[in-house]
């Protein structure tokens, strides 16, 4: 990957790490499925007027909307509402890296390089170290909900790679819009109209700020940049950057929510960073003829 694209991937990881703190704050004001629906509503409706029709086949828009918008975020919000802390959620969700590489290998025939596998192994060791340090006193159902969210994210990454949207912003706006109706329907069925109306009537500035941050910064900016990178590079090259998300999530949880941090967690975070660096060393070398440093999909992508 080119250095500027590495910088974009690190920026997205930082935004998504802080995003877990914002989610935790927003869940104080909204039921989880309603909160997830509102974030996509705020992200999609204003932007639909400017992005035009989808630039890829509808089947890919629907597939990513269901996998990413409904399944991934619905499950993660439910898990966090059930007791998963922001820092731990940001950590567990990054198991999506391994699901993505697995799905990409099976469905797209993409083979990760040995250095990528080694780097992900080091990063996985860091994630395991942090998870063990958090202890086993967390709700198992909440943990499993976040893991299932990671599986759904892995499928969404592979579907995005297969779709290769020529305009990343257009793609994420439409997938956000199509996620709203099923999330609202699920909220009405499982959370109830009374709970939804009570949350909306009690809405204050913190709830509004949480929805807008998640909608405009995390969703539009974050996933717009993420999908741009996935359209240029193999999934196994882009997705490991998400391993930096728990580092940002743990630090922001510690700073803003007073979540506990320890030497073991910091050591695990360091392993994540080292493993992440190992996955990108070869691709940061200057490109030359026959070199894999420049992807065959490295063509201009316009974001409007």
CA distance 153 to 64: 9
Tokens of 243: 């391993």
CB within 8 Å of 239: residues ≥ 6 apart: 96, 97, 100, 101, 157
Cβ(91)–Cβ(246) below 8 Å? yes
CA distance 224 to 35: 21
pLDDT in tens, the chain (304 residues): 888 889 999 999 999 999 999 999 999 999 999 999 999 999 888 788 888 888 899 999 999 999 999 999 999 999 999 988 898 888 888 778 778 888 888 888 878 778 878 887 887 888 788 777 766 556 678 888 998 999 999 999 999 988 888 887 888 889 999 999 999 999 999 999 999 999 999 989 999 999 999 999 998 888 788 888 888 888 778 877 877 888 889 889 988 888 877 788 788 878 877 877 776 654 444 444 433 332 222 232 322 3
Domain edges within the chain? 3-284
Task: Give the alpha-carbon dihedral of 174, 177, 178, 180, to 10 degrees.
Answer: 160
Residue indicated by tokens 């914002």: 22
CA distance 85 to 253: 8
């Amino acid at each position: 990957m080119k250095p500027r694209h590495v910088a974009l991937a690190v920026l997205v990881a930082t935004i998504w790490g802080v995003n877990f703190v914002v989610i935790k704050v927003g869940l104080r004001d909204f039921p989880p499925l309603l909160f997830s629906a509102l974030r996509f509503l705020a992200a999609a409706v204003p932007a639909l007027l400017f992005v035009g029709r989808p630039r890829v086949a509808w089947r890919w828009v629907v597939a990513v909307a269901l996998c990413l918008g409904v399944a991934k975020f619905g499950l993660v919000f439910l898990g966090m509402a059930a007791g998963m802390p922001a820092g731990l959620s940001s950590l567990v969700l990054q198991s999506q890296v391994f699901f993505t590489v697995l799905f990409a290998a099976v469905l797209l025939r993409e083979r990760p390089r040995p250095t990528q596998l080694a780097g992900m192994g080091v990063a996985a060791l860091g994630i395991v170290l942090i998870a063990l340090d958090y202890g086993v006193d967390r709700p198992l159902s909440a943990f499993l909900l976040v893991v299932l969210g990671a599986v759904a994210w892995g499928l969404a990454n592979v579907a995005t790679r297969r779709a290769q949207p020529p305009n990343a912003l257009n793609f994420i706006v439409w997938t956000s819009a199509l996620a709203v109706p099923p999330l609202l329907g699920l909220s009405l069925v499982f959370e109830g109209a009374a709970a939804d109306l009570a949350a909306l009537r009690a809405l204050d500035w913190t709830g509004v700020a949480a929805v807008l941050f998640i909608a405009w910064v995390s969703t539009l900016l974050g996933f717009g940049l993420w999908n741009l990178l996935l359209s240029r590079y193999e999934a196994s090259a882009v997705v490991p950057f998400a391993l930096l998300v728990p580092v940002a999530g743990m630090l922001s949880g510690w700073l803003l929510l007073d979540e506990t941090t320890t030497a073991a967690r910091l050591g695990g975070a360091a392993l994540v960073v080292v493993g992440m660096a190992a996955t990108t060393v070869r691709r940061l070398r200057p490109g030359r003829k026959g070199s894999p440093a420049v992807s065959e999909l490295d063509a201009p992508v316009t974001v409007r």
